[in-house]
Structure formats: structure tokens, C-alpha cells
Structure 1
Amino acid sequence: MKENRKSGGSFVIPLLLFIFSAIIATLLIIYAFVMWLAELTGSVAVAGLITGGFFIVLSALIYFLSVRRELEEILDRLDTVYEVASRIKEAYAWLSEFSFFSLFRRHK
């Protein structure tokens, strides 16, 4: 009888290779765009500034339209977790002052 074992290692390596390949492909496409734009403008610096400016605007739009709300929700949840953890810590400190065995000790 064959055992059904899920191997995490057989998924991680191809995933990392995919991510690495996608990053390289993206960088090459951006490089090709900058070189093409440099031919049009006559300056690699101007082409780089135009491309960089485009990506700055794109990243700002992505941040303000979607990421900012999600980050605020995550921070709100972290605040809640912190408040609950501090309450539990305070309760533990209060309860640790009264141990079960201290009820049976004789006070001198």
C-alpha cells in the first residue's frame, strides 16, 4: 500500500525557480524598454528617469488604492492582539500572587 505523503520540498524549489525566472524576465523587459526609449530620446539617463518616474507613480497608486487599507487593518488587528496579550499577562501576574499552596500555609 502506498503512503500519501505531502512533500513540501518538491513544491518549494520549483516555486523559487518560477519566482526567480519571473523577476529576471521582468527586469529584462524593463531594460529593453529603457534601451528603446533611450534610442527615441537620445539619452539613457532621460529614458531611465522616465521609466523610474512611471514606476514611482505606479507604486504610489498601488499603495494608496489597496495596500494602505490592508496595512491599517493588519495594524488594527495587531493592536487587538497586543491588548488581549497584555490583559492575559496582567491576569497571570495577579493570579501568580495567589498560588494554590499558599491557601494551606500557616501565616506566622
Structure 2
Amino acid sequence: MAEATVMWDGLRLHFQDGLKQFQERSGRYYIARYSTTFLSERSCRRAFTDLADAGLIILWPRSRTIGQKFRVDWVELSIRLNALDVSQLPGLDGINGVTSNEAPEDAGHA
């Protein structure tokens, strides 16, 4: 759950603050933000490690002054999201008429 929280809020901050600011912030900034808002610092650090191990974020070399920066691997994220069935995403089934990832059987036959 910690990984989902970090990923979701990271994406939300990305769109809210803009790509440039998102890229300039370090993992330390996000860890400080999450640990005071959503998660313990330990859970947040573990989530960053797990997301990196899963290939969803790419960590940049460590810097003593700004912490460890990272970027989202958008290709890997989209591949994984496309592989999910909507029924695997609690709360999203039926939103905007979407009930599955499959196209209707009669699509294109009109």
C-alpha cells in the first residue's frame, strides 16, 4: 500500500506542480512530505526502494546535498496499467461506463 500511495501522490504532484519542479525535487523531499502526511519515513523509504526494484521509478546517482532524485518510468507504468483488468482496481470499475479493458465484441461492426 505504501508503494501505491507514493506512486499516486507522486503522479498527482507531478501534474499539480509541473514537470520541471517535479524533476528538480529529490526523493528526500518526497520522503519528508509523505512521512509527515501519509506514511512513516521508514515505510516511505521502503516504498521508494520497492518502486525502483520494480522498475517503476528510476533513481539517479546519490548527491549529498539534495538527496536522491528519481523519475517515473512512464513506459513501464503504462505497460503495467494496460495489463490490469479494471476489476483489479477497487473503486474504478464502472466509472464513466468502463467495465473492463476489453473492447466491446460488436465494436467496428456497425
TM-score of the two chains, using structure 2 as the length reference: 0.27
Q: Which has the higher strand share?
A: 2
Greater RCO, 1 or 2 (C-alpha within 8 Å, sep 6+): 2
TM-score of the two chains, using structure 1 as the length reference: 0.28
